[in-house]
Amino acid sequence: MTAYMVLTHTVHDAEAFARDYVPAITPVLRKHHIEVIAISLNTTPLEGEANSAVVFRAASEDAFREFYNDPDFAGPKQIRHSMTSDRTMVVIPAFGR
């Protein structure tokens, strides 16, 4: 069943994030057939502190677990953690009808 991953965080340097993190994570997302549905590096939170958000879609929740545990994700994750705070990442199944 289709699943979504929502990532929110506070990005401290949007230019460095775009320059360093985005090119590092893109091949790992492609490897796991994960699609970026929506992204903003300049959000206004209704609750919390995060200033950016990303919504991803994959074929299943397992696809996100495999992505997260992939050794190829370790480097990009370290880059993201070095330039963000207030991080939250959740995986949710598509709403059933």
The full set of domains in the chain, from first to last, is 3-93 (3.30.70.100)
The position carrying tokens 């059933």 is: 96
Percent of the chain beyond pLDDT 90?
Answer: 90
Mean pLDDT of 24-37: 98
Gap between the Cα atoms of 3 and 20, Å rounded: 27
Geometric angle at alpha carbon 31, from 88 and 62, rounded to 5°:
55
pTM of the model: 0.92
The whole-number average pLDDT for the span 1-24 is 95
CB contact at 8 A, 54 and 38 = yes
CA dihedral 12→15→17→22, nearest 10 degrees, is 160
Specify the pLDDT at position 36: 97
In the three-class reduction of DSSP (H, G, I as helix; E, B as strand; rest coil), residue 2 is classed as: coil
